[in-house]
Structure 1
Amino acid sequence: MTENTTALSHAPADVVRRQYLASATGDLSALRATLAPDVEWTEMAGFPLAGTYRSPGVVTASVMEKLAAEWDNWTAHDDTYVVDGENVAVLARYTAINQATGKHLNVRVVHHFIVRGGLIVRFEQFVDTAKVLEAMSP
C-alpha cells in the first residue's frame, strides 16, 4: 500500500520526522513538501552556511544542495524529540566526511522547529561550529 499525502499526520513531531527522513534519503522534493511557503530557516552564526533562508526552494538550494556538494554522507541523525505544542526541539548529531579535507565530522546539534498547519514555518540550528570548521580545515 502506498502512502497517501492526505493521510499524513500533521502532528508537529511527525512533520519534523518526515523532514529528517527526506533529508537522509536526499529526497529534496519531499523535504520541500514539509516546509511552509514562507518558511524561515536559520543556520547558526559561525556555521559555514550561516544565515536565514526563506522559501522551500531557497532552503534546499542554499543549504541541502551545498552540504551535499561539500560533504560526503552528510546526515542529521534525529535522536530525541521534545514537543511543546507547535514547538519541536530535536537533539541530534551530524555525521559526514568533508570532501576537501577527508576529515570526519561527528558533532551534537539541537534543532528547533515551529510547525503550524502541518508545515514547518521556522527552523533554527544550534551546533558547535568550531567542530564543523575543524573538519573543514586542512
Structure 2
Amino acid sequence: MGVTMSDFTTSTAPADVVRRQYLASATGDLEALRTTLAPDVEWTEMAGFPLAGTYRTPAGVTANVMEKLAAGWDDWIVHDDTYVVDGEKVVVLARYTATNKATGKPINVRVAHHFVVRGGRIVRFEQFVDTAKVRDAMTP
C-alpha cells in the first residue's frame, strides 16, 4: 500500500518530519516550518557561516535563520537529495543554491545536515557546509 500525501503530512517518522521542514522552507511557509520544530529545539548554523550560532525555539529559528536568509539572498533553496536514517537521527546530503542580493553572485554548494527527531518534532539540527564558498558570494 502506497503512502498518500495525507499520510506524509501527519507522519511522525523522522525522515518525513525533516522532509516537511524542507518543503515548508522552500515555499516560504514559516508557520508550517515552525510546526516541525520542538519547543526546545537547538538549531546550529556552522561556525564561519554568515548566520553562525545556535538558535532556540521555533520562532527563534525562523527569525534568525530563514527570515535572514530570505532578506540577504534571492531564491535560497535547499536541494535535499540523500537521506540517511538511523532511528531518531537523520542526515541529509543536499545542495544550497541562491544568489546574494548585495553582490549578485550565485552559490551552488554541497551541504550536510544532521537532525535529531523525537515525538514527531526536530529537537536538534547541525549544519555542515563549505562556508568559504558562501562568504565568497557575499564579497564584492
Establish whether TM, by shorter chain, passes 0.5: yes
Moved over 4 A (4+): 2-5
Q: Deviations over 1:77-107 (max 9, x none)?
A: 1000000000000000000000000000100
Matching of residue 75 in structure 1 with residue 77 in structure 2? yes
Task: Report the TM-score when normalising by structure 2.
Answer: 0.94
Cross-structure match for 1:48: 50
Percent identity (aligned): 79
The within-5 A match list for 1:1-138 is 3=6, 8-138=10-140
For the residue of structure 2 that corresponds to 1:93, the secondary structure is strand
CA distance in 2 between counterparts of 1:39 and 1:105 reads 28
Give 1:36 shift: 0.1
**Partner-residue secondary structure (3-state), 1:58:** helix
In the alignment, the residues of structure 2 paired with residue 135 and residue 39 of structure 1 have an alpha-carbon distance, to the nearest angstrom, of 29
Matches of 2:13 and 2:47, distance apart in 1: 30
Structure 1 residue runs of 5 or longer lacking an equivalent are none
Summarize the Cα distance change of 1:107–1:115 in structure 2 as closer, same or farther, 3 Å threshold.
same
Count of residue correspondences: 136
CA–CA distance in 2 between the matches of 1:92 and 1:31? 18
Q: Distance in 1 between matches of 2:122 and 2:111?
A: 18
Cα distance in 1 for partners of 2:87, 2:7 equals: 25
Cα RMSD for the two superposed structures:
1.4
Q: How many Å apart are 1:20 and its aligned residue?
A: 0.2
Deviation at 1:4, TM superposition (A): 8.5
Q: Which runs of 5+ in 2 are unaligned?
A: none
Following superposition, the deviation at residue 3 of structure 1 comes to 4.5
Partner SS, residue 64 of structure 1: helix
Separation in structure 2 between the aligned mates of residue 131 and residue 64 of structure 1, nearest angstrom? 19
